[in-house]
């Protein structure tokens, strides 16, 4: 007898369960793109090693690499063999064709603006920096600054602006990278500024913008300590406090692409005024402007308020190093709040590494041991060692390199993504 069908519920109302996974995720990029990215990451790599690393047939790698060579994106390079006696054909490896594209990266900040130009392999061609007047700028002013800085770094590199494939820009504040909109920044007088669109129109080049701390994390991911790590955090401490977080080898930005604002995590209810307009933010106790404000009050330095912040901080540092108890207490207090922020990063994300980055890192050795001890006390005791902390004081050029990496990433995506190929085929 045939089994009897029961109708416990209507078939029309039945719903599926489980995650709805898109057919193409970031970890399942087109094989052609994976081949190119692995070549770029390796510097030089033989075809046989490419096939092994990607888990595909040598024939597939040969076909795809031939396409990339024909497109002018990679090239064959004679590579020395191990124990080569000079006989026979030289080994051939694949490398990115550096001259295929050039991009610019910029860091716009409260103190100075920096820029770099790199080739398609990520090698630095030229860099430039220009000072700036304190205070927020209007959109026309910032566009003029971008154009001036780009002209100067192009002149230094010996290239025309039209030789560039794209420009990446990093700046502090709440920035939606996908939409190219700056919702708030300490260097902009207006809110909700479509900066990428405005800069693209001004320069005649594709422009991409992002939060500057994200771009420091991207710089570490592309050029620094994060290249071999899947998950790590970068905490930046300068005129503000920011964080970039890499998750599964990608920058994590949050659902609305405005996350990771560590500097605006509340550490004191109704506390010190932050430049974002709220009170009790971490950066209102740790950032450069917070230390300068504290020094002006605690040390009765009202006569120094007109001095640049970096000059005032140097003076504060000298007083602390000389044993001034008040100056030392200012750094100690900032170190304790920094410990609160870092312990929360550990408790929330469990990163494999935390990188502290920023020009002011040279001060932190004064209380580094005390800060890390406080952080250990505040972090959850799991019985396992806490993630290592590294200090990188590489200056603003690192931030600009991150902006260049953003531009390189966008150019690569535009060239190699399936949508780009479909458009090119039409």
> Active-site positions?
212
Measured CA angle at 377 (ends 371, 381), to 5 deg:
135
Question: Buried b / exposed e across 386-423, counting CB within 10 Å, b at 16+?
Answer: bbebeebebebbbbbbbbbbbbbbbbbeebbbeeeeee
Do the beta carbons of residue 211 and residue 262 sit within 8 Å? no
Do the beta carbons of residue 173 and residue 186 sit within 8 Å? yes
CA–chain centroid gap for 127, Å, is 18
Residue ranges in 174-255 assigned as alpha helix (H): 195-203, 212-223
Nearest Cα to Cα of residue 39 among 119, 77, 94: 94
Structure tokens given for 270: 């109704």
CA dihedral 80, 83, 89, 93 (to 10 degrees): -30
Do the beta carbons of residue 26 and residue 11 sit within 8 Å? no
Helix (H) or strand (E) holding 170: strand 166-171
Contacts of 28 (CB under 8 A, 6+ apart): none
- What is the 8-class DSSP label of residue 187? T
Residues in the chain: 426
Q: Where are the beta strands (DSSP E) in 37-90?
A: 74-79
Nearest Cα to Cα of residue 394 among 356, 364, 366: 356
Q: Distance (Å, rounded) from C-alpha 359 to C-alpha 382?
A: 33
Do the beta carbons of residue 169 and residue 199 sit within 8 Å? yes
């Amino acid at each position: 007898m045939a089994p009897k069908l029961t109708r416990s519920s209507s078939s029309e109302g039945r719903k599926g369960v489980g995650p709805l996974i898109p057919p193409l995720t970031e970890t399942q990029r087109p094989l052609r793109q994976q081949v190119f990215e692995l070549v770029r990451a390796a510097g030089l790599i033989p075809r046989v090693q490419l096939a092994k690393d990607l888990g595909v047939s040598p024939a597939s790698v040969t076909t795809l690499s031939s396409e990339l060579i024909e497109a002018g994106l990679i090239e064959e390079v004679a590579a020395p063999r191990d124990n080569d006696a000079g006989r026979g054909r030289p080994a051939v490896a694949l490398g990115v064709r550096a001259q295929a594209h050039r991009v610019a990266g910029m860091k716009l900040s409260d103190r100075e603006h920096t820029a770099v130009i790199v080739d398609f392999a990520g090698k630095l061609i030229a860099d430039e920096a220009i000072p700036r007047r304190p205070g927020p700028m209007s959109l026309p002013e910032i566009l003029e600054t971008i154009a001036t800085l780009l002209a100067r770094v192009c002149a230094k590199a010996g290239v025309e602006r039209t030789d560039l494939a794209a420009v990446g820009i990093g700046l502090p504040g709440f920035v939606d990278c996908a939409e190219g909109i700056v919702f708030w920044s300490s260097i902009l007088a207006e809110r909700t500024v479509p900066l990428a669109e405005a800069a693209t129109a001004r320069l005649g080049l594709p422009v991409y913008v992002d939060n500057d701390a994200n771009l420091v994390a991207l710089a570490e991911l592309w050029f620094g300590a994060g290249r071999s790590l899947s998950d790590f955090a970068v905490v930046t401490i300068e005129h503000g406090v920011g964080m970039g977080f890499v998750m599964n080898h990608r920058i994590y930005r949050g659902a609305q692409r405005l996350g990771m604002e560590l500097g605006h995590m509340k550490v004191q209810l109704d506390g010190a005024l932050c430049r974002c307009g709220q009170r009790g933010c971490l950066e209102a106790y740790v950032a450069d402007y917070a230390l300068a404000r504290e020094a002006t009050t605690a040390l009765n330095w009202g006569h120094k308020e007109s001095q640049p912040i970096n000059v005032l901080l140097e003076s504060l540092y000298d007083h602390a190093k000389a044993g001034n108890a008040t100056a030392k207490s200012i750094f100690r207090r900032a170190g304790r709040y920094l410990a609160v922020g870092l312990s929360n990063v550990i408790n929330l994300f469990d990163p494999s590494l935390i990188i502290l980055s920023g020009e002011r890192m040279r001060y932190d050795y004064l209380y580094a041991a005390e800060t890390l001890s406080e952080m250990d006390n505040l972090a959850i005791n799991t019985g396992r060692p806490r993630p290592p902390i590294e200090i990188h004081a590489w200056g603003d050029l690192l931030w600009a390199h991150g902006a260049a990496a953003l531009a390189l990433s966008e150019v690569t995506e535009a060239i190699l993504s399936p949508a780009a190929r479909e458009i090119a085929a039409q």
